[in-house]
Structure 1
Amino acid sequence: MDPRTSAQDVMRCDLCETAVVQMHCDTCLVKLCTFCVGKHIISDESKDHKVVKFQSRKSTPLYPKCTSHCKEQCEMYCNPCDIPVCTSCVASDKHLGHKFLKILHVLNERRKKIMNDAAELNETIYPTYQDIASEVQNRMSQLEKEYGDLSTAITKYGEDWHREIDKLVLKLKAEVDVMKNTQLQTLQKHLDEINKNISDIKDEIDIIEMAIDTNELSKLFSVTPSAHLYRNLPHKTILSLPKFTPGTIHEELVKVFGALSSSSSTSDKHGYSMKTTQKSPEAGSSPPVKQLLDEPETVTTIKIDIHSKFFPYLYNVACLSDEEIWTSGGDNTMKLYSINQGSLLKSITTKSGNTPNVIAVTKSGDLVYTDNRDRTVNIVKNEKIEEVIRPQNWRPSGVCSTSSGDLLVIMDSDDYKQTKVVRYSGSIEKQTIQFDDKGKPLYSSSLYNRYITENRNLDFCVSDSGSRAVVVVNQAGKLRFRYTGHTPAPKNKSFRPRGITTDSQSHILTADIDNNCVHIIDQDGQFLRYIHCGLSVPYGLCTDTNDNLFVAEWTKKQVKKIKYLH
C-alpha cells in the first residue's frame, strides 16, 4: 500500500509530501517537516514566517496589515478612531492624544460579543424561525383539510336539491378554491420570507463559526454581528376561514341555498414569540424517533405521605421538572417531592381546605388544581393561591395546560347530567367542546374525576371513566376516535381508565385501574403495548421531558418512575 495514500497514514509535509509533519507555519498555514522549514522561509522572504511545533499550530496571532504603513502590523487599537493601528501610526500626529488599547484585548472583547451573537443565532433565533416555518407548514396542511371539509359540507348539502342547482354548487366550490388558493399563496409567501431568513441566519452562523475557528484576526474584524437584524420576528399571518351558511329550499334558489362568508388574511406583529433555550416537551418541532423498550423497567419508587382518615389514597402526579414532581391524594395538601432523593420539598394546602380533584403544571411552571366542591380552578404562584376560574352551574374536574399556555378544563353540570371541555385563556372562555357532528354528547356524565391532556399533534385527549373510553378530538373539537381498550386485557376485565398523559412521540398513555397496567396507543388510537412493572391500581400519570413515565399508585401511596422508551 502506498504510504502517501493510505487512509490510516500520518500527515505528511506539504512541501516534500514524504516526511512526517513536525512543524507548522502559522503565517502561511503550511505543514512542514524539519528539513523543509528553511526552504519554506526563503521561498518568500517578504513574509514574517512564524514557524512553531505542529502541536502549537495557530497559536501565533496574525496581526492585520496597516493600511497606512504596508510593511507594519497593527498591534494596537485606536479607541477614538475605532481602527487598528501600527507603532508608526501611534507615533504620528494623526492620532495625537488618542487612547490606545492592545489589539488582542479589543479582539477578545469582540470575540466574546460575536460568540454571544453566534450563541443567540444558534440557540434561539435559528430554532425559532425553524419552528415558525414548521407552524406555517402545519397551518397550510390544516388549511387544506379545513377547506376540504368545507367543500364536503357544501357538496352534501347540495345533494338534497334538484339538479338545477348543481351549477350553483360548483360556483360556490369554485369560490372556496379561489379563497383557499389565495390564502395558501399568502402563507406560501410568508413561508418563503421565513425560509429566506432561516437561510440568511444559517449563512451568518457559518461565517461566524469560520471566523471564530481561524487565527486570522482580520477575519474576525470582517465579521459584523447581525443577530439584532433578526430579533424582531416577522408579523404572524392570521387567516380567517369563510363559513358556509345554508338556507332553506325556496323558489329563489340563489338567495336561499346559502353563501360563503369572506375569507381574510391579516398580519399580527406579536403573533410569534422567540424560542427560549430552556428545554421543554415542545422544544423541538421534529423530536427524534424513539422505540418502545421490549421490557419497561422501574427506575425508582417514591413513597408519598397522605394524611387522611377516610381517604388515605394517592390520586395525582404532575412533573414540575425532570427532578421534581407534584402529588395530591385524599387530604387537602399538594406536595412537591425530589425524584432522586425521594424527599418532601414543599407542601401547599388548598385555599378552601377541600381535597384537590386534579393537579397539573402550567407551561410557565406554576401548579394548577381544580376544586370540584368549591367550583374553582386555582393556580399556585410563589406559594400563593390565585382563583382564576369560577364557572356558574358547572363543576371543574380534570385540567391540563396546553402548549400555547391555555388551560383545558373538564366541566360537569351541577346535576352531573352534562359534561364538556372548555378552553380558557386566563379566565376568558375561548372554546367549548361538548357534542359531536350529530349533536350527541362526546363525554359521559360521571361522579369520577376525568383526566385530560393535549397531545403533541394538538389533539385533546380525555380519559372518560364513565364511558370506559379515551375520547380524542382535534383542536377544532371534532371527534377523531374513541379507544375502548385492547383484548385480551391483562386481567380479563373491561377497560377502566383514569390518569392520561402523552410523550414526545405523540403516544397516548392511560392508566387502567382494573387491569393494573398502563395502555400505550399511538396518536391515531392504535394499541401498541401494556406497561405492567408490578403496578397496583395505577391512577395519576405524567411524563417528563426525557419521556420517563410517572405512575401514582392509588392504594400503595407511591409514585413509580418507569423507563419505557429507548
Structure 2
Amino acid sequence: MALSESQVPPDAQHYLVCGTEGCERNCQFYCNDCHQQMCEQCRDEHQKNKKTKSHEVVPYKQRKRQLPVEKCQIYPTKEMVLLCEECQIPICYKCTATEEHRGHAFTDLEIDFDENISLCHEEIAKIRNYFEPTSQVLKKENAGDVKEIKKIMDGIRTSMKAEAESMKKLVDTVTSENIKQVDKIEQSLLETFNGQTQKIDDYITYLDESSTNIEQITYALKSESFIIRPLPETSKPVPPIFTAGNYSKEDIAKLLGRITIQNTKPENRKIKPMETASTQLKPTGKQSKQGREKSDVKRTLSLSSSVTKVREYTVLVVDNVFHISLGKSGRLWVSDSNGNFVQIDLQGNQLQKIQTSGGSGSYRHTVTQDGDLIYTDRNNVINRITQNNTITEFIKTGDWKPLSIHSSHINGDILVGMETDEEGKVTRYNKTGIEIQNIQRDNKGQKLYKYPQYITENINGDVCVSDYGNDTVVVVDKSEQHRFSYTGQGSGFHPCGICTDVLGHILVCDSYSNTVHLLDQNGRFLTLLFTEQQGVDYPRSVCVDDDNNLWMGQLTNKVTVYKYLQ
C-alpha cells in the first residue's frame, strides 16, 4: 500500500535508479570514470565492454563525486580540471602553459575535490553521531518535562478547586449562621406581636363584659367611682436591616490565592560538549566573538554597592576638562573651554597637543570607528584629525552652530547637536559626512531641543541629549519618536556630559548639584553615583571604556577613573 505524503518519514529518500538508458533497476554501483550509477547487471555489461572494461566501478557509497563544471576565468571556453599545488588554485589545462604556473606541479582537481567531499562527509558523520543522540536525549528530557509540567498544573488545578470548595463551605456556614440569626429575630418579633394582639383581645373582652349590664353602666356613669381602663399600650417593633458585603473580584482572588509566574530565568539543559570536529565549528569573524563577549558581560554585570576610584590623571596643559573622548588602546582625548586638545595614554603621559581656533563651541569631540578625532569648531564647521595628525574640514553645518558630537558605536553614524535662534536639533550623518536624518520636533510639533550641548547613543539606538537650555535630558528613539525627558530630582538640574554603558544605563553630569545621575534605559532614576560630599567638583564630561570603567572630567584639570559595575 502506498504511503500518503503526510505518512512519509521526514528522513525518507527516493531509491536510486540505474543510470543506463531504459534500465529501471535499483542502483548499487558507480563508475568513477563515466560518473554513472549502475545496477549489478549493467555493471557486468560495462566491465565486459572493451571500451569501458578498464573503468573503475565501485559500490555506490565508495564513489568519487563528480567535479562541478566551472569555466576558467582566463580561458572561458575551458573547464577548470586541475589544481596548482603551489598556488592552491583551480586552473584549466591551458593555464599550465602560462608563465604564472610554469614549473608548478598539478593534480587532478577531481581527486582533490573528492578528498574534500569525503572529509566533509566524515565531519558531517561525526557531527550527526554527536547531535542526533544528543537531540534524542534532549527530546526525551523535554517529554519528561512535559509530563512533569502537566502533573504540576493538574496539582495547581486540584489545589484551586480544593481552595474554592473550602471557601464554599465557609460561605455556606456563614450563610447558615446568618439565617439562624434571622430566624431567632423573627421569632422574637412575632412573639412581641402575638403578645400585643392578646392584650387587645383581653381589652375587647373587658369592654364586652362591662356593657352587658346597662343598668350597672348607667349607675356607674352617675357614680364618681366608675373608671374605664385605657387601651393597652402597643408598639411597632423595628425590623433588622441586612447590609450586603463589600467585596470585589480581587478580594475573592486574594482569599482563593493567585497563580504567579516566577521571575526566574529557565535553567539551560546541561549538554556534554562535542569532542569531535570541534575545529570545524569555530565562529567566523571578529564581530561574532566580540558580540558574544559583550553578551556574556551583560549577563554578569550589575551595579556595585559602592563606587571605587581606580586612578586619576592631572592634565597640566588644559585649564579645565570640559570634554573627554576615549580612543583606541585606551588613549584619551581631553579638551578645555579654550579649544586646547590633548591626547594622553593610560599612564597619563601627553602624546600630542592640538590648538584649535578656540572660542565657544570648539571643545566637543568624538573618536570614530576608524580612530580619527572629529570635533566642533567655530564658523559652523566640524573638523577631522586623522591618526597621522592631518586636520581636514569634514562637515559644514550651514546656519546651525554645532554644539555636541558623537560617533555611533553601532554603525559609525555621526550625531551632531546644533542650535540657532533659541532652537536646537540633532542631525545624523553617515561616516562620510552625508546628512541622513534631522530630529527637531516631537509628533505634536513641539520643539525637542533648545541647546543640545552633549549627546550620546544608547545600546538600543536611542539618541540621548543633555539640553542645557531646557535643563532636561531628552531621549528620542532611532525612528525620531520622543521616548522620555528627565528633569532631575527636584529643583536646580543643569545636565552636562552624558554617556551610556553596556547595560543601557544613562549617566549624566549635573553641574548644579555636583552629582552624576544614573538612569535606566527607560529614564527611571536609579541613584546618584557621585555627590558633592564625595569631593566631586563640577563634573562636566563622562564616558565608559571597554572594561566598563567610568571616566569623569571635572571643571579642574583632573580626569578620574571609577569602577561602578561589578
Per the normalisation by structure 2, the TM-score is 0.48
Q: More helix per residue: 1 or 2?
A: 2
Q: Whose RCO is larger (CA < 8 A, sep 6+)?
A: 1
Whose radius of gyration is greater, 1 or 2? 2
Per the normalisation by structure 1, the TM-score is 0.48
